Amino acid sequence: MTSMPRRASGRSGGRAARVAARAAALTQDQRPIRPGMSGGQYRPLSDRQMVQIHETALQALEEIGLADAPQSGIDAMVAVGATYGDDGRVRFPRSLVEDTLAKACKDLTLFSRDGQHDLDLGGTRVHYGTAGAAVHMVDLDGSNYRDSTLQDLHDAARIADTLDNIHFVQRPMVARDITNNLHMDLNTIYACCSGTTKHIGTSFSDPSHVQDGLEMLYMIAGGEEKFRARPFVSNTNCFVVPPLKFATESCEAMEQCIRGGVPVLLLAACMAGATAPSTIAGAIAQTVAECLAGLIYVNAIKPGHPAIFGTWPFGLDLRTGAMSVGSGEQALLSAGCAQMHQYYGLPGGAAAGASDSKLPDMQAGWEQMCSNVMAGLSGLNMVYEAAGMHASLLGFCHESLILGDDLIGQAMRCVRGIEVDEETLALDQMRDVCLTGPGHYLGTDATLGRMQKDHVYPNLGDRTSPKEWEEREKPDLLVNAVARKEAILATPSQARFDPALDAALRMRFTIHL
């Protein structure tokens, strides 16, 4: 019997070279996951259902309208075709909605300060980040809750700056150690911008604070013109008080931000069963109507101004009245909103990835993963509150933010999906391995060549066998997260300001950090 000729392996450089190649950092286009991958594979709403939601929103705007707009907003919206009734409500004809959608900004890039983390919000591109206004910090040492501080906020920004799968930083907590609201707003900008160069979202608690905030942003950017060219901070604006009322002071702040060149997140955050209908479809329809009104408002002030369609309906546990941000209903709310953003062709965002659990435990894991995966698969442009948020948005945890980086990495791998082509179907590999090779795929060129490009490996998640786990002294996930946090915070912030700029900011503003 004639033996088959031994097939050359074709490997160059031997094992050491392959190990070195795997250890080398991948370029952005080689990574298995990266910011802005396209979702949209999951569609909980049919085309007909999206039309029904749209028609319901139009009827709500025409027949019910929104109350409590400031006079400046009333004047601007009436000037473009809205009506103002004797009952104090602004109503919006269908034609005005259609005109606004035609001229609204649809190609939106959220800029980073360093130019390395810009976010393209076109189509179904997906980005994950922090958000919220938690008033407590979760301290794992003793499982305690305490008031959140400015240092906690700065540290969260610093940690997020180092995490590959946290793509933006919207302020996740309130600096409760600052009692002066103007100081709090300005120090929030300072703490976030000195902690990360990724895009930042922040709010103003009073319209009178906006001009000082703009001055600080212009100083950080190196001038007003430079900021307007690449605005690296957006205004998170809760412009409505559901159901269907404008938040007067927030709207006044929004007008100033628009004129100051700041992109706006139109954040409509109802609670299904309390400030919106309890049904998922009804909550989405009301929130869509509110955001359409906000879009008209923005474009009445400045046509084409960059605005994110921020439908943020939240779930409610009807047994107790407590929020249920970790529920399946919440995941469906956010996924359905993502479809409505795509229906309009608008850049949009919603909340996913938060947990009702008080600690980063198993409950937090299933809740965070469920909504993060569904939001990503639905093609949500901006997934807010995707990591670190606990206790139904009341608590934030630095260690959970770090663990969320691993969790979101797996969610993003789901978003990437399955590539099917001649190479990935791998018939040639089957032929070689089975007919002339070793009978397995371990160590083949194809396997080794794709192991870094196709697979996402957790930084802290443990995949060892029980025997190896025991030999390694039973590493604990939370202990390792604490160690990672301490290592990050032990090094200087890469986003820290130039000393001359920092001195100028401290001379002009009261900086508490």
Give the per-residue pLDDT at 73.
98
Is pLDDT above 90 for 261? Answer: yes
Of the pLDDT bands very low, low, confident and very high (cuts 50, 70, 90), residue 10 is: very low
Q: What is the mean pLDDT of residues 335-343?
A: 98
Q: Please name the residues in contact with 4: beta carbons below 8 A apart, sequence gap of 6 or more.
A: 435, 436
Instruction: Give the fold, CATH level 3, of 101-416.
Output: TIM Barrel (3.20.20)
Give the per-residue pLDDT at 474.
95
Q: Please name the residues in contact with 171: beta carbons below 8 A apart, sequence gap of 6 or more.
A: 130, 131, 132, 133, 153, 188, 192, 200, 201, 202, 203, 236
At residue 323, the 3 state secondary structure works out as strand
- At position 502, the amino acid (one-letter code) is D
Cα within 13 Å of Cα(155), Cβ side: 21
Separation in Å, CA 63 to CA 66, 83, 261, 296 = 10, 11, 33, 16
Give the per-residue pLDDT at 142.
74
Give the per-residue pLDDT at 36.
94
Is pLDDT above 80 for 402? Answer: yes
Please answer whether residues 284 and 270 qualify as being in contact, where contact means their C-beta atoms are separated by less than 8 angstroms: no
Give the per-residue pLDDT at 15.
54
Give the per-residue pLDDT at 141.
83
Q: What is the mean pLDDT of residues 423-434?
A: 95
506: how many CB neighbours lie within 10 A of its CB? Answer: 13
369-392 tens-digit pLDDT: 999 999 999 999 999 999 999 999
Give the per-residue pLDDT at 4.
42
d(C-alpha 128, C-alpha 334), whole Å:
13
The answer to whether the predicted template modeling score (pTM) of the entire model surpasses 0.85 is yes
Residue among 313, 237, 387 nearest 57 (CA): 313
Give the per-residue pLDDT at 28.
72
Q: What is the mean pLDDT of residues 258-262?
A: 98
Is pLDDT above 50 for 508? Answer: yes
d(C-alpha 406, C-alpha 130), whole Å:
14
Of the pLDDT bands very low, low, confident and very high (cuts 50, 70, 90), residue 19 is: low
Q: End-to-end distance of the chain based on CA atoms, in angstroms? A: 81
Give the per-residue pLDDT at 31.
86
Give the per-residue pLDDT at 85.
97
Worst-scoring range by mean pLDDT, 15-29, 37-51, 294-308, 331-345?
15-29
Give the per-residue pLDDT at 5.
41
Place of tokens 């050359």: 8
Is pLDDT above 90 for 18? Answer: no
186-242 tens-digit pLDDT: 999 999 999 999 999 999 999 999 999 999 999 999 999 999 999 999 999 999 999
Domains of the chain, residue spans: 101-416
At residue 187, the 3 state secondary structure works out as helix
The two tokens of residue 168 are 């933006």
Q: What is the mean pLDDT of residues 95-112?
A: 98
Is pLDDT above 70 for 156? Answer: yes
Is pLDDT above 80 for 274? Answer: yes
- The per-residue pLDDT of the chain, averaged, comes to 94
> C-alpha 491: how far from its chain's center?
25
